[in-house]
């Protein structure tokens, strides 16, 4: 099975139709789940005004997202029917070619975080083909995303998705939202924070916090979260 680009955006209604502040939405996903947490992709800042450039994280875990999705796949009744929102700002110029290797993992997470931080908000997609620019998008305040559907195991294979208009290259980029059809959980990875927000059942969140391969801490989405400057 492969991913499929979605022209029908109804599956994202629980994200679009919300009264949450937009920062909370893009960092933690929709409200209504029992518990929330943060997966730290970099350690939290240790002083006010600290920059990501000042982080000493040579040994920081860079393989956490595959582990996270491995655990989450066992915590949904619909692991083969999941949805993925990919931020439009990650669009690269030019079509996919036979020589382009489709992304199927997370090998250079720190490089990806750096690219994301350099392009906050609704970055222009001037390099994308007209068909991609006109393709339906999931829109929330200050962000817009393309929607894909398919097995959780196929996360990241955007460039080979069926019905992907214009085959605009997305390369090795992470989804901004991931959730299964049964809404058992939701992962949010916005372009600015150094962490991913996770919502789900209390038992699931406790399992993630206890996993020795993950750096997950509990979080209250309504409170101010640690951020780098």
Residue 227 belongs to a domain:
no
Residue 224 belongs to a domain:
no
At 35, the pLDDT band (50, 70, 90 cuts) reads very high
What's the mean pLDDT in 153-177? 89
Q: pLDDT tens digit string along 105-147?
A: 333 333 433 433 333 344 444 455 566 767 899 999 999 999 9
Q: Can you tell me the distance from the alpha carbon of 97 to that of 95, in angstroms, rounded to the nearest whole number?
A: 6
List 148's β-bridge partners, or say none: 5, 84
pLDDT of residue 91: 83
% of residues, the chain, pLDDT over 70: 79
Phi first, then psi, for residue 81 (nearest 5°) are -135, 85
Query: CB–CB of 34/207 below 8 Å?
Result: no
- CA angle (188 as vertex; 144, 7 as ends), nearest 5: 40
Q: Can you tell me the distance from the alpha carbon of 185 to that of 183, in angstroms, rounded to the nearest whole number?
A: 5
Residue 203 belongs to a domain:
yes
% of residues, the chain, pLDDT over 90: 67
At 215, the pLDDT band (50, 70, 90 cuts) reads very high
pLDDT of residue 63: 82
Enclosing domain of residue 110: 4-44+60-218
Residue 228 belongs to a domain:
no
Query: CB–CB of 189/176 below 8 Å?
Result: yes
Lowest mean pLDDT: which of 76-80, 108-112, 149-153?
A: 108-112
Residue 156 belongs to a domain:
yes
For the chain, give the longest Cα–Cα distance. Answer: 47
Residue 73 belongs to a domain:
yes
The token pair that represents 160 in the structure block: 């080979």
User: Is residue 174's pLDDT more than 60?
Assistant: yes
The token pair that represents 110 in the structure block: 């720190």
pLDDT of residue 161: 94
Lowest mean pLDDT: which of 64-68, 114-118, 170-174, 193-197?
A: 114-118
What is the Cα Rg of the chain in Å?
17
At 39, the pLDDT band (50, 70, 90 cuts) reads very high
| b/e per residue 135-149 (b: at least 16 CB within 10 A) | bebbebeebbbbbbb
Residue 52 belongs to a domain:
no
* Total domain count, the chain: 1
What's the mean pLDDT in 46-65? 81
């Amino acid at each position: 099975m492969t991913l499929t680009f979605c022209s029908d955006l109804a599956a994202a209604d629980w994200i679009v139709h919300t009264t949450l502040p937009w920062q909370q939405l893009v960092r933690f996903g929709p409200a209504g789940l029992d518990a929330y947490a943060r997966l730290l992709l970099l350690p939290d800042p240790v002083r006010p005004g600290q920059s990501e450039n000042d982080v000493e994280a040579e040994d920081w875990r860079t393989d956490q997202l595959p582990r996270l999705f491995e655990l989450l796949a066992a915590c949904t009744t619909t692991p083969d029917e999941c949805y993925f929102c990919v931020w439009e700002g990650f669009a690269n110029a030019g079509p996919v070619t036979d020589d382009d290797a489709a992304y199927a993992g997370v090998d250079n997470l720190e490089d990806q975080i750096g690219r994301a931080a350099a392009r906050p908000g609704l970055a222009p997609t001037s390099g994308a083909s007209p068909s991609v620019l006109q393709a339906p998008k999931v829109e929330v305040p200050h962000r817009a995303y393309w929607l894909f559907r398919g097995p959780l195991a196929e996360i990241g294979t955007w460039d080979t998705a069926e019905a992907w208009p214009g085959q605009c290259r997305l390369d090795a980029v992470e989804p901004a939202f991931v959730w299964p059809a049964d809404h058992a959980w939701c992962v949010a990875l916005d372009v600015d924070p150094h962490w991913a927000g996770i919502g789900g059942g209390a038992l699931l969140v406790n399992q993630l916090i206890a996993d020795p391969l993950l750096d997950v801490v509990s979080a209250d989405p309504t409170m101010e979260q640690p951020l780098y400057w």
